[in-house]
Structure 1
C-alpha cells in the first residue's frame, strides 16, 4: 500500500486516518467538494463523488491502490426530507466508487454503520441506516459479480481527540464540564457501543491489508454497551468539576435503540480488536479539549493540568451498565449517527 485515496479526509475519522498513513510514509490523496489546504502532507483533490464521471476521472488521475471511503451524509433524524440527501450522500457516492473500481482497479474499504439491519426481516430505523445498508448490499454485489475487492466496516459510535462537532455527546459534555456548566442530557438509559478513534483507524488499515476481508461486512466496535448516563458520569468524574449533569433536561430521541457490535468476525478475519478501554479513551479525549480551551473559557476549578493524563480504572464504569458482546441489529460512522444526548 503506497498510494491511497481518502474520501471524507477532512472529517473526524478521516483526519486521524490521514495523519496515520502519512506517518507510515504512504502517499495520501484526499478528496473534498471544497478546496482544502494540506495539514499532514496529503494531496487534495476537489471532486463531487455524487457525479459518476467526476468520480471516474478522479480515480483515473490518482490511480490509488486503496480507497478509504469515509465520506457520507451523517444524520440520525427521521425526517422524510433526509431520504434524498442520505441516498445521494451515502449510496450514490459508494456506487460511483464501485463502478469506477471496475475500470480503475483498487481495493475499497467502506465505512458502514453498525446501525445497518442484520436480518432480512429487520427494517432500517432511519434514512441514514437505510442508505448505508443499501451501500453495503451494492458492495457485496460488486464483489461477487465483478470481483471488486471491497470490505465494509460497520463502525459503532466513534469518539476521541479532535472531534469538534459539539452536537455529539462526548464533545458537548466534555466542553460543558470544562467550562463549569452543567450538561443537559436525556434520560441516559440508552446503551451505546463506544469505540476509540485510534482503534477504528487500526481496523481500517487492517482491512486494507487483508485479502480475507474482501467481500465481507465486519462490525467494528467494543462489543459491549455502556449507558449514556454511565458515560456522562465517567466524564464528570474525570473532569473533577463541582457542576453535575442534568438528566432528563431534553427528550430522548424517538425510536433510538442499542446497537452493539458483534466483534468476533473482525477479530477472526483481521486479527483486530478494540484496544482502548472507555475510561482511558475518555481521559485522553478530555485532556485534548482541556488543552485547547482558552483559560478564560475554563472554570476556575478546572485547568488542563487538572485533567488526568492517564486512565481511571475500568471498574469506575458500573458493571450493571455494561452488556456483553452480542449480534447487533445496527449502530453509527464518521459519525454513524448523531450521538445521543
Structure 2
C-alpha cells in the first residue's frame, strides 16, 4: 500500500520529523509545509527546491492562515509544537498556547476542510510522567504537579490528544495520534540530548549532563519513527487510535548514552555534571506491541548504528 497522488498538509513541516516525513512522501504527492521557521531543518536539505513541495510561512495560532493553507488537502499531519525542556521552562505560556490552541486550530480547520483520509496528531511520551516502564497506550496518563514548568508540555500535548480523539468520536474526523519516545537522527535541531552529545563529541568539547545521569531512556532513530508514521497514514485500522512509537531495545542511561557517543565517535570529550534544570523523567521505556499488532511496525535501528548515521549528517552539515 502506498500513498500517491494526494495533497498532504504538514504543520511544522520544516522541522525535524515533519521534513523527514515530507522527504518520504514528496516524490508522489503534492506537499504543503506550514511552518514559522523557528527551527528550520529544510535549510540543510534539497527539499525546498522540490517541485512537489510548497513552503508556507505561518503560525498555527493564526486559524485563518492554517485554514487557507490546508484547503484541498487529503491528509493533515500536525507536527508543529513548542518542544525542548529549556524552551518549555523559559516560555510556559507560549508552550501552552501553541500546543493547545494550535492543535485546536488545526483540528477545526481539518473538520471545515472535510479532510477525508487522515489527520495525524503528535502527542508525547511525557504524558506518562516521570516513571514510565513498558507503558502501553492504555496506561494511566499523568498530569504532573501544578506549577512545575516541566509538565506544561505534557499537559498541553495531552489536552491536544483528548481534543483530537473528541473530533473523531463527535464528528468522525479520521484522527490518529502518535506518542514519540525520544526520537533522534540526521536533521534534528533544537534541544535533543543525543544530537547535542553528538555535536559536542565531534568537536571534542565537554558533554554536560543535567542531574546524576541515571535517567533511563529508550532512543528511537528517525527512520524508524517515519516508518511508523507512514503505516499510520496508510492503514485504516489506525483511525481513532493512539500509538506509542519508540525502540524498547535501544535503552540506556543518559550517562551511558554520553559514554556510547564518545566511544562510537572516538571522541576525547569529557563528561561533566550539572544540577538538574527542573523535574525530570527518571524512566521512560515504551511498550509498542499495539503498533506491531495493528500496523506491523517494529523499530530496526540500534543505538550504535543510529549514532553513527547521525554523526555523519552533522559532520556534513553543521560542523
Query: Do they fold alike, i.e. is TM over 0.5?
Result: yes
Change in 2 beyond 3 A, CA 1:246/1:51: same
Change in 2 beyond 3 A, CA 1:79/1:288: closer
Counterpart for residue 56 of structure 1: 67
Contact residue 88 and residue 95 of structure 2 kept, 8 A: no
Counterpart for residue 30 of structure 1: 33
Counterpart for residue 139 of structure 1: 164
Change in 2 beyond 3 A, CA 1:103/1:251: same
Q: Verify: 1:4 aligned to 2:8, yes or no.
A: yes
SS at match of 1:108: strand
2: CA distance, partners of 1:120 / 1:285:
34
Between Structure 1 and Structure 2, how many residues are aligned? Answer: 288
Counterpart for residue 44 of structure 1: 55
| Residue 239 (structure 1) shift | 1.2
SS at match of 2:284: coil
Counterpart for residue 193 of structure 1: 218
| Residue 52 (structure 1) shift | 2.4
Q: Verify: 1:104 aligned to 2:113, yes or no.
A: yes
| Residue 266 (structure 1) shift | 1.1
Contact residue 19 and residue 40 of structure 1 kept, 8 A: no
Change in 2 beyond 3 A, CA 1:40/1:226: farther
Return the structure number with greater strand share. Answer: 2
Counterpart for residue 226 of structure 1: 252
Q: Verify: 1:123 aligned to 2:143, yes or no.
A: yes
Give the RMSD, CA atoms, in angstroms: 2.4
SS at match of 1:99: helix
Question: Any stretches of 5+ residues in structure 1 without a counterpart?
Answer: 295-341
| Residue 285 (structure 1) shift | 0.9
1: CA distance, partners of 2:316 / 2:244:
33
SS at match of 1:259: strand
1: CA distance, partners of 2:125 / 2:106:
21
Counterpart for residue 97 of structure 2: 88
Change in 2 beyond 3 A, CA 1:110/1:228: same
Q: Verify: 1:207 aligned to 2:211, yes or no.
A: no
Change in 2 beyond 3 A, CA 1:79/1:47: closer
Select the structure with the greater relative contact order (CA < 8 A; seq sep ≥ 6).
1
1: CA distance, partners of 2:76 / 2:24:
15
- The farther-off stretch of 252-261 and 106-115 is 252-261
Counterpart for residue 238 of structure 1: 264
1:182-203 CA deviation, whole Å, 9 max, x = no partner? 3232322111121001111111
Counterpart for residue 312 of structure 1: none
1:98-128 CA deviation, whole Å, 9 max, x = no partner? 1122221222001110111466673245111
SS at match of 2:14: coil
| Residue 210 (structure 1) shift | 1.5
SS at match of 2:80: coil
Counterpart for residue 133 of structure 2: none
Contact residue 110 and residue 151 of structure 1 kept, 8 A: yes
Q: With structure 2 as the length reference, what TM-score do the two structures score?
A: 0.83
Contact residue 124 and residue 178 of structure 2 kept, 8 A: yes
| Residue 55 (structure 1) shift | 2.2
Q: Verify: 1:20 aligned to 2:24, yes or no.
A: yes
| Residue 246 (structure 1) shift | 1.9
Contact residue 114 and residue 260 of structure 1 kept, 8 A: no
1:292-339 CA deviation, whole Å, 9 max, x = no partner? 465xxxxxxxxxxxxxxxxxxxxxxxxxxxxxxxxxxxxxxxxxxxxx
| Equivalent residue runs for 1:260-299 within 5 Å | 260-292=285-317
Counterpart for residue 204 of structure 2: 180
Q: With structure 1 as the length reference, what TM-score do the two structures score?
A: 0.78
Q: Which has the larger radius of gyration?
A: 1
